[in-house]
């Protein structure tokens, strides 16, 4: 009983302190819902990404592989790449994409877990999780097995609460209208800014190396678009 009393507030505090920024990111995701990007992509991706962070933190608890924080910081390149891709490909044919997504949704809805949209959400959750790992590792290391199970259970319960709270946030008329109207233009800048912050805060790259990496990513994304159009033709 004592383990339960102490583990619950500890789990709530640790999760809240490390995931406040996810409320904003999740709200932006939910504002982009369309035929090609569904609620399940966001929810499954968020749970999947968070599960990876917990597993990485458990490595410290188990005395196994320790993931250096600056290595995790390199994952900041993921939201930068996704943001650049969204920005450069905003003029793509949305109608064709929606028709294709609708057909896929009818025949292959069970593959949502494996969809690129799901993994994009998961990748950004992981990239934004260096602070999670740095806090969860010592927290898990100082916990016994019962306390550890309780804390992790609280964490995953709160992931669902976070998703629901973000969904309700954009359901508010004023917030929802702003995000729906400007979300498409805002999301790429938020993702790129998030990636830059993750990389610089973790010390994974210096500003010059980061600038070169962004330029390389932009070139790769621009070259990828014509190849996709060629396949369609």
Q: Residue 37: beta bridge partners?
A: 34
**pLDDT tens-digit map of 92-135:** 544 444 444 444 444 444 445 568 888 888 888 888 887 788 77
**pLDDT tens-digit map of 146-196:** 888 998 999 999 999 999 988 888 777 676 566 656 656 776 787 788 678
Distances in Å between the Cα of 7 and the Cα atoms of 135, 148, 151, 152, 154 are 15, 8, 6, 10, 9
pTM equals: 0.68
**Rounded CA separation 157/154 (Å):** 5
In terms of residue numbers, what domain contains 216? 2-232
For residue 70, give the DSSP letter.
H
- Number of domains composing the chain: 1
Count the residues in the chain.
233
**pLDDT tens-digit map of 68-90:** 656 666 767 877 887 787 777 66
**pLDDT tens-digit map of 7-33:** 888 888 888 878 877 888 888 888 888
């Amino acid at each position: 009983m004592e383990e339960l009393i102490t583990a619950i507030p500890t789990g709530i505090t640790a999760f809240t302190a490390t995931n406040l920024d996810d409320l904003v990111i999740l709200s932006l995701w939910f504002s982009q819902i369309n035929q090609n990007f569904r609620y399940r992509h966001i929810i499954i991706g968020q749970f999947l990404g968070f599960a990876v962070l917990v597993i990485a933190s458990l490595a410290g608890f188990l005395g196994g592989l320790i993931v250096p924080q600056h290595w995790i910081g390199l994952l900041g390149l993921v939201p930068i790449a996704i943001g650049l891709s969204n920005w450069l490909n905003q003029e793509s044919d949305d109608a064709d994409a929606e028709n294709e997504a609708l057909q896929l949704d009818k025949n292959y809805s069970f593959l949502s877990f494996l969809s690129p949209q799901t993994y994009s959400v998961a990748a950004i959750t992981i990239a934004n999780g260096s602070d999670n790992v740095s806090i969860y590792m010592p927290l898990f290391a100082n916990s016994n097995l019962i306390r550890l199970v309780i804390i992790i259970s609280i964490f995953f319960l709160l992931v669902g609460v976070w998703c629901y709270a973000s969904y309700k946030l954009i359901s508010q008329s004023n917030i929802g209208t702003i995000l729906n109207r400007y979300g498409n233009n805002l999301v790429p800048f938020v993702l790129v800014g998030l990636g830059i912050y993750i990389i610089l805060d973790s010390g994974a790259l210096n500003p010059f190396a980061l600038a070169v990496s962004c330029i390389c990513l932009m070139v790769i994304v621009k070259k990828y678009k014509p190849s996709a159009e060629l396949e369609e033709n």
